[in-house]
Amino acid sequence: MTDTWRLSVTREFAASHCLRHYQGKCEQLHGHNFSAHVVVEGHTLDPKVEILMDFGDLKKCTDQALAALDHRHLNEVPPFDRLNPSSENLARHIFHTLTPLLAAFPVRLVSVTVCEKPGQCASYSPTGAF
């Protein structure tokens, strides 16, 4: 059995969006203070410091992945100029944006969860490993 550690951080961003074809209130322009919860895992601790990854580095990478979304109208930001800017699509987009930013670290991105408000979240993991 291999030891496994999981780290997570939650970062926030503010944005507006309109859900196309929704046929309800959310089809109208509205905004959220979104949160993005990121989970990484790995099997090896740094021998000197005995940590998987510095939380500061994980926050910095996550903030970098969110920068293009923060304080923007998501319907105007690629790929959401074509895709519906739903929490589900946001979680997948953030996952695929963040993955290469973590390549220098001994971790694997497990999942990204995007919440429009507390208790209303969508999670994405390409492997289904939640």
Map out the domains of the chain with their CATH numbers: 5-124 (3.30.479.10)
Mean pLDDT by 10 residues, the chain (130 residues): 94 97 90 97 96 98 98 97 97 98 97 96 86
Check the annotation: does 30 bind a ligand: yes
User: So what's the pLDDT on residue 128?
Assistant: 72
The pLDDT value given to residue 1: 75
| Nearby residues of 2 by Cβ (< 8 Å), 6 or more positions away | 43
What pLDDT, on a 0 to 100 scale, did the predictor assign at position 130? 64
How many CB atoms neighbour CB 38 within 10 A?
Answer: 24
Instruction: Give catalytic residues, as residue numbers.
Output: 26, 71, 116
